[in-house]
Amino acid sequence: MTPRQLVCAALGLAVLCRPEPAAAQKLQLSIAPSVITFPSSDPDAVPVIAAAPVTITYRVQQNNTGTWSLTVLAAGDLIAGPATVDISNVTWVATPAPPFQNGTLNKTIAQRVAAGVGNANPTAIGSLTFRLVNSWTYSTGIYTQTVLFTLSAP
Amino acid sequence: MRLSVCLVLLVALGLAVGSTPAAGQTASATLNGPVIGLARLTLSSAAVTFPDADPDSMPNVAASQGPITVTAKARTMVNGRVTLTVLATGPLRSGLNTIPASNVTWTASGAGFSGGTLNASAAQTVGAWNGSGARTGTQMFFFKNLWTYATGTYSLTMTFTLTAA
């Protein structure tokens, strides 16, 4: 085999061994309602305040055997002017489990809400009920904070 | 020429281990939690009783219930003032006979709680502090015992008021 033939053979091998380009995963995610409200309540009567359930609609396509995960990250503590309530006082109860799981909000590390393998196709739904630990120590005010849900399939 | 072949193989290897970029989809939601002003006051006893006693041997009669536990819970603005007061509806009465409410005093324990003298015209401070939370203290009532009192069973009503700014 001449040197030129050798090079051509190597190129041919390279082309044959190259994997088929993986199609990018297609992900869809929506949250409803987008405003999660904890009604003001007497801490003695309602030690934990439950918000109305949130429906999470998601779809994972072209993921084959890959994993996917849904996480949530709070942008900070609950804030009402100068008053704050630590975001760790907010937890959630999720269904169905699996792929969903219960958890506690965190402002520094995204927390897993759900995880799975392969596709979630057609569209699937889950339900999250957020709960706020109620306390007499909270100052009056209207507390708000943003939470970011991320559906990913690395 | 041998060098060229090696170069081609390296390029092929690079193509084989190339990874697919991670994919991600996001959605945000807003947490909303109104906290309104609220106050709750609890007394361990709704009655304070002073037993009859000899004024010489017991010039100050302690309430037979012992200390009353006062639990005050309040939600207020940041550093908002919380006050607990008590007001007598009038003097101690037994028929037509009266004893001034000021003959009843109390000592207190607990952070923010203070002792005082009962008054029928101006509410007296039992406790004061800043900020939301639950506080617990005690009040021990005493009755000034005198020979001048007419016999009878005297009573009055005290009204406690918890206020959160």
Taking only the tens of pLDDT, chain B with its 165 residues reads 333 333 332 333 333 333 334 458 999 999 999 999 999 999 999 999 999 999 999 999 999 999 999 999 999 999 999 999 999 999 999 999 999 999 999 999 999 999 999 999 999 999 999 999 999 999 999 999 999 999 999 999 999 999 998
Contact B31 A3 (CB under 8 A): no
Contacts of A45 (CB under 8 A, 6+ apart): none
**What pLDDT sits at residue B165?**
85
Q: What is the phi/psi pair of residue B26, to 5°?
A: -120, 155
Residue B146 sits at φ, ψ, to 5 deg, of -130, 155
Chain A residues touching B131 at Cβ < 8 A: 139
Q: What percent of chain A has pLDDT over 70?
A: 85
Who among A11, A82, A144 is closest to B30 (CB)? A144
Rounded Cα distance between B138 and B136, Å, is 7
